[in-house]
Structure 1
C-alpha cells in the first residue's frame, strides 16, 4: 500500500495562455503522466481553411503526480500554478478524468482501461449495472471478473473487469 506522500493524484495546472499543449508535452518528456484534452476543428483564415487541434479547456492541463514532486512540475516555463480548493490543491478523482476521456471520445464506453493494475483491497467505482456509481472494495481478481464487497451494504458481488474503474 502506498503512503499518502507517495500516492499519485490528479491535479489541475493553470498554464500561460495558449501554452497547454506545450506544457503537457514537456511534462510528459520529464516523466509525468499528463492529460491535456483536445479536439480538432476547422479554422478560417483570409486565404485558407485549416484543421487545428485546440485544447478543450483553455489554459488548463491535468497531471497525475505525487505530493513530494508537486513543485517539480511548476518549473516548466508555461506552468503558472496549481488550482486550489479551500486552501489545498484541488484533487481530481480518477473516475472524473476517465469520464472526461469518455466524453471526449478518447476511450470507448466498454473499453477496458486501468491506470494501474488492480489488486485485492483496492477501491473501485462500479460503472454499469444495478450498482452504477457505487464504490466497492476488491476481494478477489480473476481473468475477466472481479469479486467485490460493498462496505455500506455488507454485500458481495461479482463484476466484469470492464465494468469497474480503480479509484486513486
Structure 2
C-alpha cells in the first residue's frame, strides 16, 4: 500500500468545490496530494465550453507516512472536511490504485492504445460521440473515425480528450 515515495495513500473529503484549495494547502504542509481531473465539454445556449473538473467531486487523495507525519493535521487543512478513518486511524487505499488513476488521467493516458480501439470523445463539438482510432501520428494525437448521419468522417484529437472503451478489433 505504498505510494511511490514511501507514503500510503488515503482519502480526504473536501468542502464543496474546494478540491483545488485542499490540494494546494495539503502540499504546502508537506503532504503529497492528488486530485484526478478530467476535461469535459459542456453545451449551453449553442456554445461549447471545455472545463477541467474533478473525477471524484468532494474528494482528494493524500500521501501520508502515518509514523512520521501528523496525519490529524489533514483535518484542519483549509478546504478539507476530514480524512476518512475507521474510527481511530485513517484507512489506506489499495496498493497501486492512485498510481493507476494518475496514469489514466495524466500525460501517460496514451500508453497501450492501439489502432482499432474504441474511444469516447470528452471535449469539443463531438463530445460523448464514440468512434474508433484509425491512425496514431506523432505525439499524443490520434485520428478517429466517427459515423454520423450515414457518413464516416475522420477527426483529429489529443489522447487526453478521450476515454478508452474497448479492446482493438
Q: Place the TM-score, normalised by the shorter chain, in its bin.
A: 0.5 to 0.7
The normalised TM-score by structure 1 is 0.53
Aligned length: 105
Gaps of 5+ in 2: 1-5, 112-169
- Trace 1:1-168 onto structure 2 (pairs within 5 A): 8-46=7-45, 48-67=47-66, 68-85=69-86, 88-107=89-108
Superposed displacement of residue 108, structure 1: 5.6
In the alignment, which residue of structure 1 is the partner of 2:121?
Answer: none
CA RMSD, 1 decimal: 2.7
Asked whether the 8 Å contact 1:21–1:55 carries over to 2, the reply is: no
Superposed displacement of residue 104, structure 1: 2.6
Superposed displacement of residue 35, structure 1: 0.8
The normalised TM-score by structure 2 is 0.52
Provide Cα deviations, 1:127-163, integer angstroms capped at 9, x if missing partner. xxxxxxxxxxxxxxxxxxxxxxxxxxxxxxxxxxxxx
Q: Distance in 2 between matches of 1:98 and 1:109?
A: 15
Q: Distance in 1 between matches of 2:110 and 2:51?
A: 26
Provide Cα deviations, 1:12-69, integer angstroms capped at 9, x if missing partner. 0011121112211222233221110000111234474321110001100001112242
Superposed displacement of residue 80, structure 1: 0.7
Gaps of 5+ in 1: 1-6, 111-168
